[in-house]
Amino acid sequence: MAQDYNRAANLIIEHTTSKFESGEWWVVKRWLENIPEEIRMSNVDLLLIELYFCQETYEVKEFSFLLDTLEAVGVKNSSIKNQSLYLYHLGYYLTYIRPNPEKALECLEQSKAIYHDETGMFGGRRELITANTRQMLGRSTLALKLLDDHDKNFQYGSVMHMRSLHARIYVHLQSGNFKESEVESEKFHFIARKGELKIMRAWSLYLLGNSAFQTANLDLASQSLREVISYDKVFNYRVYFDALAGLALLHSLKGDTKEADSMQLTMEQVSEKFKNPKFQSYARSVKARINLHKGLGKMELEWAQMDWTKQSNDPYLFLIDVPNLTKIRIMVCHGSVLQVEEALNILAEVGVFLDGIHNRYHVLDIQLLKAIALLRIGRKEDAKESLNKAITLAEQNDNIRPIIEAYRIMPSLFHLVNQSPNSRRLLSRIGLDTSHSDLPPISHSNFYELSFREQQVIRLIAAGLRNKEIADELNISAVTVKSHLTNIYRKLDVPNRTSMLNKVKSMAILS
């Protein structure tokens, strides 16, 4: 029996590369699960394969355990290839799981120096992660130049060429260059869709959807991310979840709450299947963020208060939804004054960490959350300065989605906008120009803020529409309209429509 297992292990080792290259890593995982644990945990080759699974399934704790086990069983006395693979995996760990880009680059360069490889599974991924690590060290220009040099050695459309395109997009995304990442993603997808590698097509769709999400090219983002969902059996689990999150949030930002809720429910169902607490956390985060868009953020306070100050820096990267950041969103909008002040301190710490690894993907969200927090605690001029800086950044990087999302959760913030030509042009372009409003600016009272949808309802009531007409105009049910009115009356402390309109007309800009 032991001989049979050893023979099976050798066959797995022999066929792993071809299966990974075709995007069928899950087949190898199934094979490996039939090998007794004592054999798997004593075989360097099998342990190295297990580390690939950790990358795809986002088993962070297991990754660390396997690295330690490899050292214990003597990977450094193994073949040159295995030593190189170990250094590659360690470089991955120090790039994406416990960020230490300087040490990561050292491991990756040493891995390449001792063993050359041209497979997408190993050599291609190594080039990709190395480029990302250089970007994290502030060497984006060098990273892109070296990728250009690298491309000269490989055929157009080869797996190594596609991994190079993949790497460029990583560099642009984490640098906050969203227009460039969208252009490069379109090139990547054009090549990948003509090829046979499912995993490359899946990555090209996700990266295109991610980039388009940030530039608020919502139709392209929705189309791309929806296609990603068909690759659920072959794709990286964490990125697959991020695609689901992107779809849910896209629907929410477009005001399609029915589809947003449906996609969020899908996330919950998938997370139950994976039985990984991290995925349940991602689904819960998206639910909270959608409720924030609906004006129901206060009901998420209990969830947000759980360990919200214990910020773990590793999951930020270039992910559409990050639970730690969602908790800050809730606290900034609906926490007490003391909690908002604490949130400002945490935002500063997160900003320092992300600046330290040159991660600009979330910079605009952080800048806007600072503006909201400053406004909440009465520092209006500081809030105005932070907001105008955010609008400048949005225009420079074509990073429009955070502006739309901030407007949805706190519309009155944008009455602080410095009415410069640049600001007016950007807000007009995305339909958020506040300078030609039929009604005076709507303010929040104490810790409440009328949602974007609630403001729409108020404006339609002011225009003389009845509940049924409002429902038809907004493509929602009459019951939902009544629910919005109940929330509006509560927030404005008024008993009926007439009182509501009188109060809105008398309200001044937040002070």
Distances, alpha carbon 211 to alpha carbons 232, 355, 369, 379, 407, in Å: 20, 20, 21, 33, 20
Indicate the pLDDT class of residue 247, thresholds 50, 70 and 90.
very high
The whole-angstrom separation of Cα 50 and Cα 41 is 10
The whole-angstrom separation of Cα 217 and Cα 213 is 6
Between 80-94, 359-373, 428-442, the lowest mean confidence (pLDDT) is in 428-442
pLDDT higher than 60, residue 441: no
The predicted model gives 501-507 an average pLDDT of: 72
The whole-angstrom separation of Cα 159 and Cα 148 is 15
Between 373-377, 393-397, 473-477, the lowest mean confidence (pLDDT) is in 473-477
The whole-angstrom separation of Cα 221 and Cα 188 is 15
pLDDT higher than 70, residue 105: yes
Q: Please name which of 386, 376, 302 lies closest in space to residue 332, comparing C-alpha atoms.
A: 376
Class of domain 440-511: mainly alpha
The more confidently predicted of residues 60 and 405 is 405
Between 9-13, 75-79, 113-117, the lowest mean confidence (pLDDT) is in 9-13
Q: What's the mean pLDDT when you consider all of the chain?
A: 87
Helices within 335-477 (DSSP H only): 337-356, 363-376, 380-397, 401-409, 421-429, 452-462, 467-474
Q: pTM value?
A: 0.81
> pLDDT at position 437, please?
43
The whole-angstrom separation of Cα 47 and Cα 386 is 49
> pLDDT at position 1, please?
47
Q: Please name which of 211, 215, 210, 265 lies closest in space to residue 238, comparing C-alpha atoms.
A: 210
For 192, other C-beta atoms within 10 Å of its C-beta total 25
Q: Please name which of 439, 330, 447, 441 lies closest in space to residue 378, comparing C-alpha atoms.
A: 447
Query: Which residue ranges make up each domain of the chain?
Result: 362-436, 440-511
For 33, phi and psi rounded to 5 degrees?
-65, -15
Query: pLDDT by residue (tens digit) across 322-342?
Result: 999 999 999 999 988 889 999
